[in-house]
Amino acid sequence: MNVLPTLEGGLRIDLETPIDWLLMTCIPADARGTPVELADQFNELMAEDPGATDWREYVLPDLRAQFDGQITLVEEALKSTGGEIPAQIMIYRADGDRWFGVLNQARLALDARYHFEDDDGDEMTPGKLTAWYRYRHYSALQHDLLRHVMR
Amino acid sequence: MSDTLTVTREAVSLDVPWNVVVHDDPVNLMEYVVYVFKKVFGYPEPHAERLMMEVHQSGRSIVWSGEREKAEFYAQQLQSLQLRAAMEKAE
């Protein structure tokens, strides 16, 4: 996989192997795998607030729609390649925040499931280790987005 | 003659400053948190970095204080950018 900045201020991701494809398709799958929806986690932070009811009624649905829309964006970008390898995925400058958001959702979901801070690589099960690699890969993509797109 | 039912709701106090608080989380990148503080509040880089470090080291930071309506707006903005933001009455 190659990740390259574009002249328009976006990123181009070249998928060259089936593993590259698998890694990218894991992003939305991981993001949808959270035990508690991210918007609901945020809503809990407002539980003690006098305006909690309004927050739940007005803000929570917006956050849910926004976070779901981020995942859909990535799913549609993957679908647009037709699943053929080699393939290119373009992240346009205007979509940088949304791509960053879905990568964040994926990392939050993985961390909630595996608690990476609790042990080091030597003690990880194979499933946890592959999840850790995905987590690191998503972080690397986020760094690329921050460096080249979200400036 | 008809009875009138009066429902009284506790009004949310608007006359005290409200704090917008950001809590630490295990996932958000430091660089991203600085980016969000600059984007949402327009803070200069050194101030945004100082607040980010406070979140990281102390577990939370008061990132803005002021009237409630604006605090709600900022808290919503921060949550939409996936920071763990909440509001509290200023002491």
Pinpoint the alpha helices (H) of chain B: 30-41, 45-58, 68-80
> pLDDT exceeding 90 applies to what percent of chain A?
71
pLDDT band at residue B15 using 50, 70 and 90 as cut-offs: low
- Provide the phi-psi class of A42: left if phi over 0, else alpha when psi is between -120 and 50, else beta: alpha
Give me A120's structure tokens.
């080091």
| Least confident stretch, A14-23, A38-47, B18-27 | A38-47
Average pLDDT over residues A93-121: 90
Which residues in chain B are contacts of A97 at CB distance < 8 A?
81
Give me B23's structure tokens.
């809590």
* Residues of chain A that touch chain B, judged by Cβ-Cβ distance less than 8 Å: 38, 41-42, 45-46, 49-51, 55, 59, 62-63, 66, 97, 100-101, 104-105, 107-108, 111, 116-117, 139, 142-143, 146, 150
- Single pTM value for the model: 0.89
Say which DSSP state A6 is in: -
How far is A15 from chain B, CA to nearest CA, in Å?
25
How far is A70 from chain B, CA to nearest CA, in Å?
11
Q: Provide the number of CB pairs (under 8 Å) joining chain A to chain B.
A: 56
- Give the number of domains in chain A: 1
pLDDT for A34: 83
pLDDT at A121 over 80: no
CA B91 to centroid of chain Cα atoms = 15
Contact at 8 Å (CB) between B21 and B86?
Answer: yes
User: A111 and B27: CB-CB below 8 Å?
Assistant: yes
User: A45 and B10: CB-CB below 8 Å?
Assistant: no
Which residues in chain B are contacts of A66 at CB distance < 8 A?
80
Give me B81's structure tokens.
């950018």
Comparing CB atoms, the residue among A49, A59, A97 nearest residue B76 is A59
pLDDT for A84: 87
pLDDT at B9 over 50: no
B42: contact with A, CB 8 A cutoff: no
Per-residue burial over A44-73, b if 16 or more Cβ lie within 10 Å, else e, is ebbeebbeeeebeeebbeebbebbbebbeb
Helix and strand numbers, DSSP H then E, in chain B: 3, 3
Mean of all residue pLDDT scores within chain A = 92
CA A112 to centroid of chain Cα atoms = 14
Predicted confidence (pLDDT) per residue in B31-66, tens digit:
999 999 999 999 999 999 999 999 999 999 999 999
Which residues in chain A are contacts of B19 at CB distance < 8 A?
none
Question: What is the domain range of residue A9?
Answer: 2-148
Interface predicted TM-score (ipTM): 0.90
pLDDT for B54: 98
pLDDT for B39: 97
pLDDT band at residue A18 using 50, 70 and 90 as cut-offs: very high
Domain annotation for chain B: domains and CATH numbers:
25-89 (3.30.1390.10)
Average pLDDT over residues A79-83: 89
Average pLDDT over residues A102-120: 88
